Structure 1
Amino acid sequence: MSDAELVLRSRRVITPQGVRAAAVVVGDGRVAAVLPHDAEIPAGARLEDLGDDVLLPGLVDTHVHVNDPGRTEWEGFWTATRAAAAGGITTLVDMPLNSLPPTTTVDHLRTKQRVAADKAHVDVGFWGGALPDNVKDLRPLHEAGVFGFKAFLSPSGVDEFPPLDQEQLARSLAEIAGFGGLLIAHAEDPHHLAAAPQRGGPRYSDFLASRPRDAEDTAIAALIAQAERLGARVHVLHLSSGDALPLIRAARAAGVAVTVETCPHYLTLTAEEVPDGASEFKCCPPIRESANRDLLWQALADGTVDCVVTDHSPSTADLKTPDFATAWGGISGLQLSLAAMWTEARTRGHGLQDVVRWMSSRTAELAGLTQKGAIEAGRDADFAVLAPEEAFTVDPAALQHRNRVTAYAGKTLHGVVKSTWLRGERIFAGGEFTDPRGRLLTRRP
């Protein structure tokens, strides 16, 4: 262990084997060893004693809309990755839409990579997009290193990223299955959405009625059927409908390769608490009722829902109008996701090791990021240092994302991120950031 450079010592380290007092040895940007708490410090290594603060693996957020280039006034790599670092997230995977151009060809991917290269405070990877007319581009994008392909089964909200109908979905999914790729889907059925009551105005109840659970349930059922027929891998994005859980359980039992994510806002917020006109709470699919939230928590606990991601989808403040029908739909949650999840999880009897499993280990597994997601020898030395008992009140002015609109304003959350480390280097502490040190990640063959 002569190459050891750093030792992080804590009485509470989240490891794959559980929470333990340990000394984590770092060398060449990776975890070299996880030793007993009282182990001798290797010669030449610098010791950081964290006391009772918890050392956990940096979070891996596989659902982030950075919007850069093209809509950088909504969000950009500089601001998004600072928000991530401040929230204990050390890796994010960028969604292919809301940037101009969208990540739907290799040339467009290269454009986005050039923009991100010198602005990323954390490691960044990219999803590709599956559109009605780009089946020919899917394999080249896969070979260029995207982690999979996002498709919408209903309108996306931006013209340059149209949805797939069932025939187009089948063509794209067959192509992706042919090279062993992954399709990730925004699953709402357009026909159910069109048939739902569409009333504008400030009432959240009207917006909720316009995005019914059966729109999700029907789209998920169709996605599962296509995956089963084609032998394809599919992932359900941002599940909000608890009614879809029996479909997913049955599909898994039948051997269909389907995974599922949900988001902190579906697990920590409820429709009953959304004030009329408060479109900072608007997202699609929507935040649903308290009883539905309980179903999602049960599904997380039993493994039906695999992981938790932010679906950070910001916009400029002027697009968050008081009319739920016209306001931009998206929750900005990068910086607050860990605290929001921990605040709710602790009241439901879950430990930090559960939060790490949902927000780091399983998200890394979803994207095939084998070097991320755990504190064990050989993995990247990516960490968050958390004071889990400390509480804070959310002040939008303290947030790092570009437009400081948040559904969590004024809420008291538990869990303060004291510092964030990327490959053994401290990139955030005490409200201060280093210069960007993130790398651009590609899918490993």
Structure 2
Amino acid sequence: MREAATTEPGRLRIIGAVLAALVVLFGAVTVWEISDRATAADDVVGHSQPLSADAANIYRSLADADTASSSGFLAGAQEPREVRQRYEKDIANASRLLVSAAANTGAGGESRKEIALLGEELPRYTGLIEQARATNRQGLPLGGAYLRYANERMSTVLLPAAQRLYEAETGRLYTDYDDARSWPFASIGAGLLGIGALAWAQRRNYRRTNRVFNHGLVAATAASVVVLLWLVVGTTVARSGLSEARSDGQESLKVLNDARIASLQARANENLTLVARGAVLAEDKKSDKYDVDYTKNMKELDTRLSAALRLADDDSGEEPVSKAVAGVTQWKQRHASARESDMRGDYDLALVQVVGDKDHKDSSGASFDTVDASLEQAVVHEQREFTQAARGGLGALGGLTTGAAALAVVGAAAALLGIGRRLSEYR
């Protein structure tokens, strides 16, 4: 090698080999880094975000089942068919999503532990609900105790486990976001190094031969510049799409899911206020625990809806949230009327004001249904926005790995041909 470097042909051979190696290195590093980012972006769209959404739906289904069970209990011995069907649908949905989550979650980690806990506790909860229903049909007051205990298990065991599952899956989603959005600094550095070396080689060629262009080296430089520009532009567009998916989609989804959960918990506590009839006191030993919890839930709901309005970036996203806000205002008014009736001893009137019947359509339950339906509409819209933006980000990386590999091969071959043309002059 040292002897070869003492002659111009030897030096040219070394330069050609180094240039080809640098161009190939640039292509290889680009393929490696972009493949990793494309995989992470694909995970965001097809794996981690759906799992995060499923975890949120597990929580929502459990909370809604708890709400439906208390609504059915308040209806008396003849539980309305639609309420019972809603409860059964929620339990079936939660069970199905748990099975799906177990199949798509790794063997270790926090998520697996929470899924196992939920799988153990859900049958116990449904057993308590069935005991409450059976006792309630017999007109025995013990049914209320079973229902309150079931609600306690839901509030202290199942829902916290579902919340931890949601947080774990959302954390994995944000990790995939960060991986997909990271800049390919190694590729950019390798590209700049390769282009710099090609520029130096062409300048050296010009100074020694007085020829402005070496077609092979120019072609190699052009191929490298195309890959570098493609890399930078593609990464920028992908980062923009994924950032939009996170800020305009996922963040809105998180706030809306939190709002739905708060509304469901508020409704369950509103129902349990009538079920317990003051039998369970808050920490101050004076106030009704469930009414205090209802107030906390409604404050949380107000906070989340305000955040959702701020995050809504178009009329289609803002309209259902505004409907939910109006529904919450109406709900509070009707709840206050029901509490007033209950406090003055008119339980039957308070019951119809909360649950409603064919003669009372303006119940707080009807307001809750309006809020829940509006939030569901908003969630569907934001999910669509997320998917569209995230797929746009993923699409920006499409073809880059194949293109980089092909252009790297072309560039390396062109560099060797360009140097080979100079070597032919010494024969």
In which range does the TM-score fall when normalised by the shorter chain? under 0.3
- Specify the structure having the higher radius of gyration (Cα): 2
Q: Counting strand residues as a fraction of each chain, which structure ranks higher?
A: 1
TM-score, normalization by structure 2? 0.27
RCO higher in structure (CA 8 A, sep ≥6): 2
